[in-house]
Amino acid sequence: MRRVAVTGFGVVSPVGIGREAFWSALAAGASGIGRITRFDPSTFAVQLAGEVRGRLELPKAVDEIAGRDPKVGFAFAAAAEALASAGNPRLGVKSLLHLGTSLETFDLDALVFDERRDFRSIVEGERPLQVSLDTAGELIRRYFRDMAINGSGPFILTNVSACAASAQAIGHGFHAVRSGETELALCGGFDSMVNPLGVGGFQLLGALSTENDRGESGCRPFDASRSGAVLGEGAAMLVLEPLEKARAEGRTVLAEVSGCGSTLDAHGLSAPDPEGRGAERAMRAALADAGIAPEAVGHVNAHGTGTRLNDEVEAAAIRRVFAASWQRLPVSATKSLTGHLIGAAGAVEAGACLLALVKGLLPPNPWLRKVAPGCELDHVVGTNARAFDGEYALSNSFGFGGQNASLVFRRVR
């Protein structure tokens, strides 16, 4: 089987647009969380989110759609950066485009069709009613494909495995390149649930922090005072290619993807398996896929949502998987800075992992002051990045509904 290189990475996030801005903020423990500005949240119990700030440079046609569905713009910009950093390869017949995301964006007015309203004005009007989840993929294909192949490629996949979606997309792209099924995979995720329906839906479930006066420190994974997740938005894309080919063609290799594990809890929709068995199996499967022992892993970027249920269960699962090494296995939790990007979370956090390998630094979890009982791990605390020289890093993504995915990245020496 072939080894798989990450040759490109692009990101749009609440802590910065573009790879360097993203990494600088993570390394400095700078949060992108604040009061919601995308809509008036004053009547919502939840008023915090990690929003993308700054304007994206987008082609006019993409910008028009991004005006109705911001996540499409995030996806396009992240894909453009990833491809540019990989030397601008074109997407061909043997390419794969696999994107994770979550919820369709609808014109909310168009959904109100009860007897009190006249649906005719919506039907006969010209306002677009929704932006399909495949729109971002179609736009990326249109702008970045090899023009010589007409309409016959690349194959597009849109993955909706909730918080595990983009980690699954990267894992699937990795397996496709490793097996020789594809020569280039552009994979990752894009999302924004920072809209009334998204925030409202999660508010109803009690999954989000309502401590609005906490501002930038609203999300505090593994802390005794944690009070829930904070939604974020953005996108991240990775370009994956065979390692030998990338080296032969002189491309910069950021890191290798060396393993992916995917499991289901089969337990409940909103709460993880209380024993964390699904999470544990995902991590073990990723290590087995990479062909390494737990002790080889030098860093974990946790799913770390800041919810009561997730953090304790995940910490316990990490302690079991890394039974011999967990006390000296540094754990970051970058949702403390970015918020929870749902369908894009796995890709953004995979980016944090691979940049940790590139830069030799681990992002801190700056709001972690008192570790919650049951959450004991070797947390990267404070506001400074910790030096890191390990060979392997693991990124966890555990989804609402019980979908789990873990990815293993390897440093290129």
Partner 1 sequence: MPAADVVVTGIGMVTPLGATAAESASAWDSGGSVQSAPVPELAGTSLAHLRAAAAQPLDAAARLGSRKMLKYMSESAVLGCVAAHEAVEAAGVRRRFDPDRVGLYSGIGMAGASLADALPALAASVGPSGRVESRLMGERGLAAANPLMSFKILPNMPGCLVSITEGIRGPNLIFTPWEGQTGAALAEGWKAVASGAVDCALCGAADNPAHPAILVHLARSGRLPSGQHVAAAAAYLVLERVGTARRDGHRPIASLADVTIEACDEEPSDPLSGRMGRSFAAAPAVLLALACALPSGAPRVSIVGVDRQRFSAAVGGRP
The residues annotated as belonging to the active site are: 163, 303, 340
142 contacts partner 1 (rule: CB under 8 A): no
Written as one letter, the residue type at 85 is S
Q: Which is nearer to partner 1, 119 or 249 (CB)?
A: 119
Distances from the Cα of 42 to the Cα of 38, 123, 193, 196, angstroms = 12, 32, 17, 11
Side-chain half-sphere of 380: how many Cα atoms within 13 Å?
Answer: 29
Residues 42-81 that bind partner 1 (CB under 8 A): 42-45
Tell me how far the alpha carbon of residue 156 is from its chain's centroid.
18
Q: Which is nearer to partner 1, 198 or 351 (CB)?
A: 198
How big is the site for partner 1, counted in residues (CB under 8 A)?
A: 73
Of 2, 53, 117, 369, which lies in the binding site for partner 1, with binding defined by CB under 8 A?
117
Residues 391-410 that bind partner 1 (CB under 8 A): 399-403
Residues 252-291 that bind partner 1 (CB under 8 A): 262-270, 278, 281, 285
Q: Cβ of residue 171: shortest distance to partner 1, in angstroms? A: 9
Q: Cβ of residue 118: shortest distance to partner 1, in angstroms? A: 9
Distance between CA atoms of residues 354 and 191, nearest Å: 20
Q: Which is nearer to partner 1, 161 or 332 (CB)?
A: 161
197 contacts partner 1 (rule: CB under 8 A): yes
309 contacts partner 1 (rule: CB under 8 A): no
Q: Which is nearer to partner 1, 31 or 101 (CB)?
A: 101
Contact call for residues 342 and 189 (beta carbons, < 8 A): no
204 contacts partner 1 (rule: CB under 8 A): yes
Distance between CA atoms of residues 92 and 178, nearest Å: 17
- Residue 323, both tokens: 């039974």
Crossing angle of helices 19-28/345-359, nearest 10°? 80
305 contacts partner 1 (rule: CB under 8 A): no
Of 55, 147, 151, 389, which lies in the binding site for partner 1, with binding defined by CB under 8 A?
151
Distance between CA atoms of residues 242 and 257, nearest Å: 10
Q: Cβ of residue 50: shortest distance to partner 1, in angstroms? A: 18
Distance between CA atoms of residues 331 and 313, nearest Å: 15
Of 74, 144, 190, 202, which lies in the binding site for partner 1, with binding defined by CB under 8 A?
202
Q: Cβ of residue 282: shortest distance to partner 1, in angstroms? A: 9
Contact call for residues 163 and 401 (beta carbons, < 8 A): no
Residues 332-371 that bind partner 1 (CB under 8 A): none
Q: Which of 238, 254, 234 shows the shortest CA–CA distance to 337?
A: 234
Q: Which is nearer to partner 1, 217 or 403 (CB)?
A: 403
Residues 6+ apart with CB under 8 A from 377: 222, 302, 315, 318, 319, 326, 329, 331, 371
Q: Cβ of residue 70: shortest distance to partner 1, in angstroms? A: 15
| Residue 398 CB coordination number (10 Å) | 32
Binding mask 83-112 for partner 1 (x = CB under 8 A): ----------x--------xxx-x-xxxxx
Contact call for residues 323 and 219 (beta carbons, < 8 A): no
147 contacts partner 1 (rule: CB under 8 A): no
Site of tokens 């039907």: 123
Q: Cβ of residue 63: shortest distance to partner 1, in angstroms? A: 20
Residues 156-175 that bind partner 1 (CB under 8 A): 156-162, 165, 168, 172
Bridge partners, residue 11, by sequence: 236
Q: Cβ of residue 111: shortest distance to partner 1, in angstroms? A: 5
Distance between CA atoms of residues 117 and 78, nearest Å: 40
